[in-house]
Amino acid sequence: MVVGASFASEASVPWGFLLGVLLGLVLLWQAGRLLNQLWWRPRRLERALRAQGIPGTVQEHGKMSMSWFGPNPRVTIVDSELSKDVLSNKFGHFEKLKVPALSKVFGDGLASHEGEKWVKHRRILTPAFHLEKLKLMLPAFSACCEELVSRWSESLGSDASLELDVWAELQNLTGDVISRTAFSSSYHVGRRIFQLQGEQAELVMTNKIESILKDIIGKRIQAMKQGESTKDDLLGLLLESNMRETEENGQSSMGMTIEDVVEECKVFYFAGMETTSWQDRAREEVRSLFGKNKPEYEGLSRLKIMTMILYEVLRLYPPAVSLIRKTYKEMDIGGIRYPAGVMLELPVLFIHHDPDIWGSDVHEFKPDRFSEGISKASKDPGAFLPFGWGPRICIGQNFALLERFAFELAPSYTHAPHTVITLHPMHGAQIKLRSV
């Protein structure tokens, strides 16, 4: 009995030894991976970049420089031509940097997709944003602006002037406009989503938002199946385009799922949140074109002064101060060979404030630099990148605010732009409002 027990004990020793060896190998492998990620790979990428003449920081070394983002090298490119090459992504060498925490706030929509999924969503979404479709939404913009103007008139009363934080007011206006244009008859429900998304930046409320959106979408799909005509809001146009895509290809997989539509609706909200003598000139231009009438879409293209002002504001304060891409394969750009895994930062704010491009008055507010259009506003026709590469600016969103009031900065205003995903005024935007 003792001999048997001893034999069993001796036989178990090799298994324990082998298990220890196996565990040790796993730990060594994990340690090797960690060392590679935190040390060997970063040093290898650094040597490859420095060997080609890419030095340290922008402040020390100018328009092509390198810094570190954790274990990842980040090359900053303050060059509009190279930035356009990266953003155009002609050869598919770049991918957008994914930040999971941000996708919870503004959805996993078109802006974050790559490859075939991006192609499908882009094809389905494009008809909803066609110029002819957007014309139909102008009354919604106008109605929201009229409500704001009316509220300001009541607040002003018989006083000569009124001080208010216009940043909060315009945030609310943006929410109203997006709610009306995205969901029309479901406007008030849409506003609740907008409010929740504002809170979501600090406290994730994904399930509640998705529940509200799915309810709106489900009711709209059911109405469409029963033969009701689609509405001229973004959701109706998106669902109509999606159904057409599915029917034409005869496969439901060719369209977007309910979850896809929910994510794109989140993007409608987040993307839309983000946009003194010149006042007189702009106000006079609006009055000369529209008088006391409501604005018409055909007249918006003739608002030259308004366009110049908006362009100059977007130049000085672009919503996205910087754009990030990442190489996922080895490639050449601007005579530099980048290994896979290098982050490329395109600092739009730096490009917009580059005196070599815009002149010595680069930090001044001078809308007339755009008097002959974007292409002649600077020495480099492609240096204006407020929304990335491509003309995606709508000039008609804020002009109605200038019809009834004059604005000037309040004494309490502190100029302190800072970035919270997009550029915001840190302490609000206090102005003095007076009737004209």
Torsion sign (Cα): 330, 354, 370, 281 = positive
Contact 140, 181 (CB under 8 A): yes
Q: What DSSP element (H or E) covers 66?
A: strand 64-69
Q: Which of 91, 92, 62 is nearest to 77 (CA)?
A: 62
Q: What is the 3-state secondary structure of 21-37?
A: HHHHHHHHHHHHHHHHH
Q: What DSSP element (H or E) covers 196?
A: helix 187-200
Q: Which of 418, 434, 435, 436 is nearest to 167 (CA)?
A: 418
Q: Helical H runs in 36-186?
A: 41-50, 58-61, 80-88, 100-106, 115-125, 131-135, 138-156, 166-183
- Dig out the tokens for 195 from the structure: 């409010």
What is the C-alpha separation between 298 and 373, in angstroms, rounded? 19
* 394 marked ligand binding residue: yes
User: Which amino acid is located at 257 in the chain?
Assistant: T
Rg of the chain taking only CA atoms, in angstroms: 28
- Dig out the tokens for 370 from the structure: 């755009």
**Beta strands at 336-338 and 430-435: parallel, antiparallel or unpaired:** unpaired
Rounded (5°) CA angle 57-60-64: 55
DSSP state of 209: H
Place of tokens 């103007």: 149
User: Which amino acid is located at 349 in the chain?
Assistant: L
Known binding residues are 394
Known binding residues for heme are 394
